[in-house]
Structure 1
Amino acid sequence: MRRHLYLLLILCAASILGMFWACNHPSNIDEQMPDVVSYNFNIRPILSDKCYKCHGPDASKRQAGLRLDMPESAFKALKDDPNAHVLVPGSPAMSELFRRVSTNDTTEMMPPANSNLKRLTPHEVDLVKKWIKQGAKFEKHWAFVPPKVVPLPEVKDKAWPKTPIDNFILQKQEQYGLKPNPEADKERLLKRVSFDLTGLPPSLDMMDRFLADKSSDAYGKVVDELMKSPAYGEKMTLHWLDVARYADSHGYQDDNYRTQWPWRDWVIHAFNENLPYDKFITWQLAGDLMPNATKEQLLATGFNRNHKITEEGGVINEEYRVAYVTDRTNTFGKALLGVTIECAHCHDHKYDPFSQKEYYQLFAFFNQVKEPGIQSTVGGPETYAKRPMMQVTNDDVKGILKFVNKQDTGKLIVSVMGDSEVYRKTYVLKRGNYDTHGDEVQPGTPKAILPFDSSLPKNRLGLAEWLFSRKNPLAARAFVNQTWQEFFGKGIVKSSGDFGMQGDLPSHPELLDWLSVDFMDHGWDIKRLVKQLVMSATYRQSAVVSPDKLKIDPDNTYLARGPRSRLPAEFVRDMVLASSGILNKTIGGPSVNPYQPAGLWENATSGRGILANYRQVHGPNLYRRGMYTLIKRTVPPVEMAIFDASNRDQCEVKRLRTNTPLQALLMENDPTVLEAARVLATKLLQEKSTSKEKVYKAFRLIICRKPNDKEQAILDSYYNEELKAMDLQTAGKVLNVGEYPLPDNLNKVNLAAMMKVVDAIYNLEEAITKT
């Protein structure tokens, strides 16, 4: 155990040294002066960061009547000096913008010394100067221009690319003097792609078959096999649950139970059936409005009823109803457009060209839902879903809803969408207050993205048609970017929920456009997109990083090495359960309560409703995948929270990824991990093999590769040490964890010693890391 802790300390120290290196050896790529300065990629980010607070889209905060995000304003003479101009194309010296950002005179400098905004760096000042000298040409924000077909870049190393993706990646690497890593070894590559496509480690059988297959298409065959697995749909669904703010409770103080899990079953089914993305979203936005809508299409609309709902007495009905509509509007913007439309809820957006009026025009599409702010207080099963709702019958699960895992004959109801028969007017809400009406507005969309076509129906179905217009610049980009993020750790646009002026620029804008157009041209085929990513040479690279690459590109922006990241919270659990052989692979069904520290719910509850007290499940349900762990919003599962899982309060398109001592403590003490170690050790001891062979097999099951000689020797030595130090009483304490049955006929001392070794392997960094 001391050696185990020592190894963990080494890993922590390495992590800290890595962060220190990255901070003190920043990338020099972004400091290079381009031959042609782009307004979109070089100048607008500077203005947005340093100038738009006072000279941007928000009229209420604008100073000196100057707006720098529009050329017609930026080229005008100054309000208080008709002979001076902010920008004089070709002449930095005559341009007030350049003079003000480059001066050291505190009475004239911009941003002002007292503004709390950082001054432009010397490199940024030089960029502004060169841009003005080259004509000060403005461009529409890149994200609001529809993606266009772009030719594949020419590259010097013509042997490396395996898919068109690689041409774009390699072209950028060659531009900055980088070279891609060689392909990862087969074991690490298999682990990577197995977790990325199923959220589960590969089986020993799959490892052995892949290692033995010397054919040129061995990797492609494994990819196809993994994508046909039902676990593919579960893996893809996990991200969508974050996007859709799915949870098993209503979310406010009483936080009672809700039955939205049949919608989750539908999402898994949709991914496995490869429902095209345009249909996948249209059904969720407006399945109830489709001609001759089926029950499946109606169930899909549960997406927009996953928001928090109150059951508390004394609340103001309209206040909460408006809150629900606001949530749907904000989710639409962030999840499907990748923009921060919510910033225009109370006033014009300060950085992006979205007015408050346009926000409420978008709001109007969701304002017709036939729902009250409160319809019942905490009670029995009749409150588990809220109107409008649908019932899932036993006949349904035998027919059109056969994918719903209804486990009993009781009444099952789900909240879905449904508009009122009476039209509800929509108004601009002054300062966002629910009861302060301004001008009435009609359904519409932000003009900067794409004006709403008057020929479309002014309802959610029309909004879905608008979203998937080939002229819409954001729908394909937003989804492609989120999908890229799932496989490479971060999006081509790092700020995947913000493609606006304050968001990150795409690292590979041409690639993002190419993927988006290709995605649309091939029928919004999600599986095809996923396969493109994992088949690329870019994805298959080794994750090993050299000092030179770390110095030039510490964040791996230009992908000269493979993706390396910790597994998501749910997959940490899945890895433990699957490798030990106790994973319950049942697809779908109600969420479950696995082990949890005593008293968490009881100390943070109103004392009302079915979720007032924690009732742990037993038997096979105790070993279900992490995505089926019940999420009570006010007290989310502690082991998930420690590993950065969302509590599903609101739409989340990108999880935080932290590295804290709590995560190591959890792996050391979580009863699920300890129980899995005991069960795997039991299975190993029941096999006719040497202790060395048992350790070897445990390592392969958990780490997904063969141990090298040094690793094998350390683990063998640890087993022998534990075996010598172990007595029957100590063994009894070690083995007393979890509910999985313990055989009576095994040597408990041997079992406890082997359990310690297995547990140590589970606690290696590599066990929970995709490399």
Structure 2
Amino acid sequence: MTYLKISTLFTFSFLGIAMFGCTQKQTNEVQLSDIEQVSYNFHIRPILSDKCFVCHGPDANKRESELRLDTEEGAYAALKDDPSQFVIKPGNLEESTVYHRIISEDPGELMPPPESNLALSEKEIQLIKKWIEQGAKYEPHWAFIKAEKTELPEETDWTINEIDRFTLKKMKEKGLQPNPEAKSYELIKRASLDLTGLPPSPEVLDRFGDFSGELSYEDLLDGLLADPGFGEKMAILWMDISRYSDSYGYQDDNIRTQWPYRDWVIHAFNENMPYDQFVTWQLAGDLLPNANKEQILATAFNRNHKYTEEGGVIDEEYRIEYVLDKTNTVSKGLLGITMECAQCHDHKYDPFSQKEYYEMFAFFNNTPEKGYQGDVSQSKPAKTPILFVEQEDLSGIMNFINYSDTSKLSISVMGELEEQRPTYILDRGVYDAPTVEVEPSTPSSIMEFPEDLEKTRLGLAKWMTAAENPLTSRVFVNLMWQEIFGQGIVKSAGDFGMQGDLPTHPELLDWLAVDFMENGWDINRLMKQILSSATYKQSAVITEKHLNTDPDNLYLARAPRLRLPAENIQDLVLASSGLLVRKLGGPSVKPYMPEGIWEAATSGRGELATYVQDKGDKLYRRGLYNFIKLTVPPPKAIIFDSSNRDRCEIGRSRTNTPLQALVMMNDPMILEASRVLAGKMWEENKNGEMAIETAFKRIVCRDLTTKEKDILLSYYEDQLNRFTENSDQILPTLSVGEFPLEEKNINPETAALMQVIVSIYNLEETITKS
């Protein structure tokens, strides 16, 4: 079939581009001669963390020869077996034992030892040498130092706001120049997808035009931020962070009703709730003075983890598992640190002891939650503690919850025991091996826990949102940057520790973090600030200079070209076809699903043993609302790299696989959307050329070029001849999906247009933000 040939061509073109990009040699490494002053944080610590801290780092249980290289005191100390010798003698290479060990040719002396399978490169050795010669100055880890605003780089004709002054400075350092501004239709599509996850309609494209009329680019941003779709777009990220799902996980994986929490997240973003309040309510809304039901509902954030409903389990074992999950989610999702590494022993790379891990753990260890609740045959939609939402609540403070049923809702939320439950360091992290008792506290390397704060989750929230906390604002600003540019200023968004990536623009990150706090933790303002910048508004055109100097676009001399998240691919298809039902919030829905997938992965018990597809409008909701069963995540979303939702995730991978092309060619929703849009286009135009032009603009958000029009018209004529000569193929082709097929649309023209539209949906440009 011609359709398959064209689709395959598009697919191979896409994969070819991706493979070409992956094979470009990285040439943006800093040369040693370019470094005047060696920095411990940015040059030396990454080397030591990778090659030395396993044996000479924070973990006392694994430390060799009682030698530490992660602290100034340890590195400057005299050798235990020879006090006349020193590990590092600042400014004195000859008396620095470390240097002689890393250049030794004797396998018995060489560090790292050959059996470790670790080795220093010549460049790393020379960096360490230069650092010692310059005084071997240690610095606190950059992410644990309070952020400060530095002096702004110079302003130029290109710069629009402060962001650009930092990015342009870095571009110039790397020998790059910014791209020209993108075309207006590109900016309209890009901003719409970034802020709402939905494509702009042809009417919006025409209304804003080239921004030379009454409506400006700023008007566009203001309108998008005010659109309810903004909260839905932002909620996708937060559902990954909060590990939201509609089932409990483990073997039976039965249904639960946490979706009102998702409605609250959407509501909070659409109301532009300040981020410090957003965090506080989720951590400790139930502990606020005179807490209302909305504040308590927000604490469902802590209860979204997996739960076992299997018989015979040990209650305390799973209760501890749930507290561990809460601790790890908060540390990774809100603080950007890998505290979970210290569950069983002191952290090997970061300055977090096992004691400090369980001090954080203690904040979440005082809830009446149980590890196992009741008879497995009596699965309940929420586990204790439970918030019940009555009908009168839905017309009052909880009016953002979209629920038409008359029964009350039950949601798992947080509660606090009246008497403090003791917390112990667990030997090797084992639930039944308590050792030393600890009190609730936080890692001192980040920020001491003030004595005047209550030792509860509310105190933790105050500590986390204090202006002196070096992480919370940095981590969130970085997440927003990642949402827009595809990777954060710190690429490892969930790891700001020693093993994480260094920020590409450290001064910009700190400036934004401080500015965010100074302006009331205003999320809308931050997003508008980023999207208003000249950095954001650049064209995505890639030049040879870009590929040679900065293939990963670390220094932002062009706009990124990024495939849409899985949920937004669904949204784009439904919105452009006219099928999208823009209902805000409500229970999750079950769209089309390949037969047998659920049944093959369940115990055969419970409400979710068999997949029951929804009907009517529920089939055409946004991807955010698709039912998430933990043991069988939505297969189409997983193919497009969505989160499994079984743990906190703050960044998704991006892959290019043939399965993605097969989904775009064969998924029932895409075929149905193509059929419905084809019918509309033929009804409105009664002309193949005009129908194709209009459909293309709805889907790709720009006008066809002459060459593209000729290709698609030729394909349309080919398919029209096929269906005219083989009329028996028309009905089987159009009979896809449950949206009603009208008699008047059962014709060769609609069938031919459907094939063309499927091909347009299968274009790389369609599902790419550029």
TM normalised by structure 1 equals 0.98
2:422–2:437 Cα contact (<8 Å) kept: yes
Cα deviation for residue 149 of structure 1 reads 1.9
Residues in 2 aligned to 1:584 and 1:174: alpha-carbon distance in whole angstroms: 47
Residues in 2 aligned to 1:376 and 1:274: alpha-carbon distance in whole angstroms: 40
Partner of 2:6: 3
Cα deviation for residue 85 of structure 1 reads 1.6
Cα deviation for residue 192 of structure 1 reads 0.9
Cα deviation for residue 106 of structure 1 reads 2.2
- Spell out the pairing of 1:160-175 with structure 2 (5 A cutoff): 160-175=158-173
1:367–1:426 Cα contact (<8 Å) kept: yes
Residues in 1 aligned to 2:247 and 2:277: alpha-carbon distance in whole angstroms: 28
Output the amino acid matched with 1:738: G
1:131 aligned onto 2:139? no
Aligned partner of 1:691 among 688, 692, 695: 688
Residues in 2 aligned to 1:377 and 1:221: alpha-carbon distance in whole angstroms: 57
> SS in structure 1 opposite 2:600?
helix
Cα deviation digits, residues 607-658 of structure 1 (max 9, x gap): 1111111000000111000000000000011101111111210100111111
Cα deviation digits, residues 151-181 of structure 1 (max 9, x gap): 11125xx011111001010011111111010
Cα deviation for residue 33 of structure 1 reads 3.3
Residues in 1 aligned to 2:210 and 2:161: alpha-carbon distance in whole angstroms: 25
1:29–1:552 Cα contact (<8 Å) kept: no
Cα deviation for residue 442 of structure 1 reads 0.5
Between 489-498 and 81-90, the greater mean CA deviation after superposition? 81-90
Output the amino acid matched with 1:132: I
1:19 aligned onto 2:19? no
Cα deviation digits, residues 484-521 of structure 1 (max 9, x gap): 10001000000000000000000111001000000110
Aligned partner of 1:424 among 415, 421, 425: 421
Partner of 2:747: 748
> SS in structure 2 opposite 1:687?
helix
1:602 aligned onto 2:599? yes
Partner of 1:288: 286
1:201 aligned onto 2:199? yes
Output the amino acid matched with 1:73: G
Partner of 2:91: 90
Cα RMSD for the two superposed structures: 1.3
Residues in 2 aligned to 1:200 and 1:390: alpha-carbon distance in whole angstroms: 33
Output the amino acid matched with 2:765: E
Structure 1: which 4+ aligned runs deviate by more than 3 Å? Answer: 28-33, 377-380
Residues in 1 aligned to 2:294 and 2:301: alpha-carbon distance in whole angstroms: 13
Cα deviation for residue 18 of structure 1 reads 2.1
Residues in 2 aligned to 1:218 and 1:628: alpha-carbon distance in whole angstroms: 33
Residues in 2 aligned to 1:64 and 1:401: alpha-carbon distance in whole angstroms: 60
Residues in 2 aligned to 1:163 and 1:137: alpha-carbon distance in whole angstroms: 35
> SS in structure 1 opposite 2:745?
coil
Between 649-658 and 215-224, the greater mean CA deviation after superposition? 215-224
2:347–2:353 Cα contact (<8 Å) kept: yes
Output the amino acid matched with 2:769: K
Residues in 1 aligned to 2:621 and 2:413: alpha-carbon distance in whole angstroms: 26
Cα deviation digits, residues 671-706 of structure 1 (max 9, x gap): 000000000001001013521111111111111111
1:100 aligned onto 2:97? no
Between 624-633 and 121-130, the greater mean CA deviation after superposition? 121-130
> SS in structure 2 opposite 1:765?
coil
1:663 aligned onto 2:660? yes
Cα deviation for residue 25 of structure 1 reads 4.5
Partner of 1:513: 510
Output the amino acid matched with 2:87: V
Partner of 1:80: 81
Residues in 1 aligned to 2:430 and 2:633: alpha-carbon distance in whole angstroms: 30
Output the amino acid matched with 2:587: P
1:53–1:351 Cα contact (<8 Å) kept: yes
- Spell out the pairing of 1:350-369 with structure 2 (5 A cutoff): 350-369=348-367
Cα deviation for residue 110 of structure 1 reads 1.2
Cα deviation for residue 212 of structure 1 reads 5.2
- Spell out the pairing of 1:612-651 with structure 2 (5 A cutoff): 612-651=609-648
1:558 aligned onto 2:559? no
Residues in 2 aligned to 1:92 and 1:633: alpha-carbon distance in whole angstroms: 56
> SS in structure 1 opposite 2:684?
coil
2:734–2:746 Cα contact (<8 Å) kept: no
Cα deviation for residue 93 of structure 1 reads 3.1
Residues in 1 aligned to 2:98 and 2:710: alpha-carbon distance in whole angstroms: 67
Alpha carbons of structure 1 residues 32 and 765: separation in structure 2 relative to 1, 3 Å: farther
- Spell out the pairing of 1:26-105 with structure 2 (5 A cutoff): 26-29=27-30, 33-105=34-106
- Spell out the pairing of 1:695-710 with structure 2 (5 A cutoff): 695-710=692-707
Partner of 1:349: 347
Residues in 1 aligned to 2:295 and 2:497: alpha-carbon distance in whole angstroms: 32
Residues in 1 aligned to 2:374 and 2:151: alpha-carbon distance in whole angstroms: 58
> SS in structure 1 opposite 2:765?
helix
Partner of 1:443: 440
- The percent of aligned pairs where both chains have the same amino acid is 56
Aligned partner of 2:452 among 433, 450, 455: 455
Cα deviation for residue 321 of structure 1 reads 0.4
Output the amino acid matched with 1:64: S
1:285–1:464 Cα contact (<8 Å) kept: yes
1:652 aligned onto 2:649? yes
- Spell out the pairing of 1:173-188 with structure 2 (5 A cutoff): 173-188=171-186
Cα deviation for residue 187 of structure 1 reads 1.1
Partner of 2:315: 317
Alpha carbons of structure 1 residues 378 and 719: separation in structure 2 relative to 1, 3 Å: farther
Residues in 2 aligned to 1:274 and 1:442: alpha-carbon distance in whole angstroms: 35
Output the amino acid matched with 1:769: T
Partner of 2:112: 111
Partner of 1:568: 565
Between 756-765 and 90-99, the greater mean CA deviation after superposition? 90-99
Residues in 2 aligned to 1:561 and 1:247: alpha-carbon distance in whole angstroms: 36
What is the number of equivalent residue pairs in this alignment? 765
Partner of 1:376: 374
Output the amino acid matched with 1:7: F
Cα deviation digits, residues 221-277 of structure 1 (max 9, x gap): 101111110000100111000000000001111100000000100000000000100
Residues in 2 aligned to 1:709 and 1:30: alpha-carbon distance in whole angstroms: 47
Residues in 2 aligned to 1:311 and 1:172: alpha-carbon distance in whole angstroms: 54
Partner of 1:761: 760
2:59–2:348 Cα contact (<8 Å) kept: yes
1:332 aligned onto 2:333? no
Partner of 1:387: 384
1:376–1:383 Cα contact (<8 Å) kept: no
- Spell out the pairing of 1:131-280 with structure 2 (5 A cutoff): 131-154=131-154, 158-211=156-209, 213-215=211-213, 218-280=216-278
Output the amino acid matched with 1:121: S
Output the amino acid matched with 1:94: E
1:338–1:498 Cα contact (<8 Å) kept: yes
> SS in structure 2 opposite 1:751?
helix
Aligned partner of 1:682 among 667, 679, 683: 679
1:484–1:491 Cα contact (<8 Å) kept: yes
Residues in 2 aligned to 1:27 and 1:598: alpha-carbon distance in whole angstroms: 48
1:498 aligned onto 2:495? yes
Residues in 1 aligned to 2:106 and 2:61: alpha-carbon distance in whole angstroms: 28
Between 210-219 and 623-632, the greater mean CA deviation after superposition? 210-219
Output the amino acid matched with 1:193: A
Output the amino acid matched with 2:75: A
Cα deviation for residue 379 of structure 1 reads 4.6
TM normalised by structure 2 equals 0.98
Alpha carbons of structure 1 residues 11 and 254: separation in structure 2 relative to 1, 3 Å: same
> SS in structure 2 opposite 1:540?
coil
Cα deviation for residue 29 of structure 1 reads 4.1
Residues in 2 aligned to 1:192 and 1:59: alpha-carbon distance in whole angstroms: 50
2:403–2:586 Cα contact (<8 Å) kept: yes
> SS in structure 1 opposite 2:114?
coil
- Spell out the pairing of 1:462-541 with structure 2 (5 A cutoff): 462-541=459-538
